[in-house]
Amino acid sequence: MTITFVDLFAGIGGFHLSLSNLGAECVFASEKDKFAIQTYEENFGKGSIQNKDITKLDIDKMPNFDILCAGFPCQPFSIAGLHKGFDDDRGNMFFTLYNIIKNKQPKAYFLENVKNLKTHDKGNTYKVITDHLINKLEYSMNTFTVKTSDYGLPQMRQRIFMIGFRKDIEDTFKEPNKVPLKFTMSDVFEGNCTKDIGYTIRVGGRKSGVNDRRNWDGYLVDGEERFLGVKECSMMQGFPNTFKFPVSDTQALKQLGNAVSIDPVEYFGAELLNVLTYNTTKDGR
């Protein structure tokens, strides 16, 4: 039986690509950014985004699914969002996820957010999230700070993964073993780069220069300064070279800066699917 999932705050489909690679099926996706929708539907098919405003979603009309996947908005829980947290309207997006989980009762969830979600507002933001998921919904929760470079891709990017299961699912989740780099920044640039692992790909602030403290996309390659483009960022994020960006380079780079890294999501997703498969086998369902 095929395991199904929904892709909420879908962006360009990092969760969709990762879990589809593992054999799961996406049955519903939601994204509001018109440029991200263009890229998503270019790669996953016209109409693959079924909802453009999750705040107006009729939950009862959603199909049933096994896993809720969401890279819910980072801004309210990051320095970029000025630490507004739940006082920022975008912070309420977590409560939209909460209501979907409460009503649809999926077997599992897989959430992604910025690293400092745990420390925001002296830990109160994270406390509210865990209280709602664990105490109110009675789901388990496994939280990991995941570095992209620990799972094959040459990028320093760190994100929080939160993975949990419905109370009738035995939670046997184990953190995947770290793996060596598949390639280095020299492979990315096809030249001799002074760094094996690249900086975290970000949104905005491009071409500051290799000596600027704000630099994230400038590297010394074969003795010359070079900057990341769409091809290089896509490779560092784990997207295949067949993945298409029918938008401007500016939009594509923004999308890649907001995307989840494919390989880490695949490794954690594989373990999540193992838990669900184990429970199905164990219970004979």
Q: Any idea which residues carry the catalytic annotation?
A: 74
What are the CB-based long-range contacts (under 8 Å, 24+) for 231-236? 232/188, 232/189, 233/201, 233/257, 235/183, 235/188, 236/148, 236/153, 236/154, 236/155, 236/188, 236/198, 236/201
- Token pair, residue 158, equals 């760190």
179, 151 in Cβ contact below 8 A?
Answer: yes
- CB proximity list for 203: less than 8 A, separation 6 or greater: 253, 254, 257, 258
The residue ranges of DSSP E strands in the chain, in sequence order, are 4-8, 25-30, 67-70, 108-114, 142-147, 158-165, 218-221, 224-227
Phi, psi of 142 (to 5 degrees): -120, 125
155, 198 in Cβ contact below 8 A?
Answer: yes
Three-state secondary structure of 114-156: EHHHCCHHHHHHHHHHHHHHHHHCCCCCEEEEEEHHHECCCEC
